[in-house]
Amino acid sequence: MTKSLTLKKGYTYYFDATDSTTNNHPLFIGTISTGGSYTYEYTSGVTNSRTTTETLTFIVPSDSPSTLYYNCGNH
């Protein structure tokens, strides 16, 4: 299970996926905690979703769900 983060709506957050340990582990934001599939991917306010080599940027929209999850596309 991933660690919990508390994010504020309207703020910008950066998730650094530039380290070589994230290769083959595409990072994305989802509406459920289960990775391995992009079925429940949340893309509003997200730049570079599914990245393995860049920074994912998330500007939390004012109408975003109260709970979101960071997930790996492979696990």
Q: Which residue has the higher pLDDT, 20 or 14?
A: 14
Q: Which domain holds residue 53?
A: 12-72
Please give the pLDDT value at position 22.
Answer: 82
- Across 44-53, average pLDDT: 97
Instruction: Tell me whether residue 5 is in a domain.
Output: no
Instruction: Tell me whether residue 46 is in a domain.
Output: yes
- The total number of structural domains that make up the chain: 1
Instruction: Tell me whether residue 7 is in a domain.
Output: no
Cα–Cα separations (whole angstroms), residue 32 to 21, 23, 24, 39: 24, 22, 21, 9
Please give the pLDDT value at position 2.
Answer: 65
Please work out, in degrees rounded to the nearest 5, the angle formed at the alpha carbon of residue 69 by the alpha carbons of 56 and 44.
55
Whether the per-residue pLDDT at 50 is higher than 80: the answer is yes
Please state, in angstroms and rounded to a whole number, the distance separating the CA atoms of residues 65 and 42.
10
Q: Which residue has the tokens 């983060």?
A: 5
Q: Which residue has the higher pLDDT, 2 or 6?
A: 6
- pLDDT over 70 percentage in the chain: 97
Please state, in angstroms and rounded to a whole number, the distance separating the CA atoms of residues 6 and 25.
22
The reported pTM is 0.89
